[in-house]
Amino acid sequence: MQKHFSRRELLRSGGLAGAAIWAAGRVGWAGAAAPSEKLNLAVIGCGNRGAANLAGVASQNIVALCDVDDRPAAKAYQTYPKAKKYRDFRKMLAEMDKQIDAVVISTADHVHAPASMMAIKMGKHVYCEKPLTHDVAEARKVAEAAKDRKVATQMGTQIHAGGNYRRVVELVQSGAIGPVREVYCWMGRSGKRARSGDRPKDTPPVPKELDWDLWLGPAPYRPYHPCYCPGAWRGWWDFGNGTLGDYGCHYIDLPFWALGLRYPTAVEAEGSPVNAETAPSSLMVRWDFPARGDAPPVKLTWCHGIDLPPVLQHPELVKDPYGILFVGDKGMLAAHYGWRRLIPAAQFAGFKAPKPTIAESIGHYEEWILACKTGSPTTCNFDYSGALTETVLLGNVAYRVGKRLQWDPVGLKATNCPEADKYLRREYRQGWKL
Cα of 25 vs its chain's centroid, Å: 33
pLDDT confidence tier of residue 230, bands split at 50, 70 and 90: confident
Note whether 149 and 217 are same-domain residues: no
Note whether 393 and 376 are same-domain residues: no
pLDDT of 26 > 50? The answer is: no
Is residue 90 a part of any domain in this protein?
yes
pLDDT of 192 > 70? The answer is: no
pLDDT confidence tier of residue 37, bands split at 50, 70 and 90: confident
pLDDT confidence tier of residue 197, bands split at 50, 70 and 90: confident
pLDDT of 36 > 70? The answer is: no
Cα of 129 vs its chain's centroid, Å: 5
Mean pLDDT along residues 156-183: 97
Note whether 127 and 271 are same-domain residues: no
Residue 190 is predicted with a pLDDT of 55
Is residue 223 a part of any domain in this protein?
yes
Question: What is the tens place of the pLDDT at every residue in 243-264?
Answer: 999 999 999 999 999 999 999 9
Q: Taking a C-beta distance cutoff of 8 angstroms, is the pair 339, 171 a contact?
A: no
Note whether 152 and 246 are same-domain residues: no
The count of structural domains within the chain is 2
Is residue 317 a part of any domain in this protein?
yes
What CATH code is carried by the domain that includes residue 326? 3.30.360.10
pLDDT of 3 > 60? The answer is: no
Question: What is the tens place of the pLDDT at every residue in 39-77?
Answer: 999 999 999 899 999 999 999 999 999 999 999 999 999
Note whether 374 and 342 are same-domain residues: no
Residue 221 is predicted with a pLDDT of 97
Is residue 167 a part of any domain in this protein?
yes
Note whether 26 and 125 are same-domain residues: yes
**What's this model's pTM, rounded to 2 decimal places?**
0.92
Note whether 49 and 153 are same-domain residues: yes
Three-class secondary structure of residue 335 per DSSP: strand
CA–CA gap between residue 378 and residue 368 (Å, rounded): 6
Is residue 1 a part of any domain in this protein?
no
DSSP labels for 177-232? T-SEEEEEEEES--GGG---S---S--PPPPTTB-HHHHHTTSPP----TIIIIII
Residue 193 is predicted with a pLDDT of 55
pLDDT of 27 > 50? The answer is: no
pLDDT confidence tier of residue 16, bands split at 50, 70 and 90: very low
Question: What is the tens place of the pLDDT at every residue in 337-364?
Answer: 999 999 999 999 999 999 999 999 999 9
Question: What is the tens place of the pLDDT at every residue in 92-136?
Answer: 999 999 999 999 999 999 999 999 999 999 999 999 999 999 999
pLDDT of 183 > 70? The answer is: yes
pLDDT of 32 > 60? The answer is: no
What CATH code is carried by the domain that includes residue 129? 3.40.50.720
Phi and psi angles of residue 256, each rounded to the nearest 5 degrees, phi first: -60, -45
Note whether 124 and 203 are same-domain residues: no
Note whether 67 and 116 are same-domain residues: yes
| E-state strands within 51-173 | 61-66, 84-86, 102-105, 125-128, 153-155
CA–CA gap between residue 102 and residue 100 (Å, rounded): 6
Residue 17 is predicted with a pLDDT of 35
Note whether 154 and 166 are same-domain residues: no
Q: What's the first-to-final CA gap in the chain, in angstroms?
A: 39
Note whether 181 and 303 are same-domain residues: yes
Within 13 Å of residue 110, how many CA atoms lie on the same side as its CB? 25
In the chain, what percentage of residues exceed pLDDT 90? 87
Give the helix/strand (H/E) hosting 286. Answer: strand 283-289
Of 15-29, 121-135, 179-193, 300-314, give the lowest mean pLDDT range.
15-29
pLDDT of 224 > 80? The answer is: yes
Is residue 396 a part of any domain in this protein?
yes
Note whether 18 and 137 are same-domain residues: yes
Q: In which domain, by residue range, is 36 found?
A: 7-158+365-380
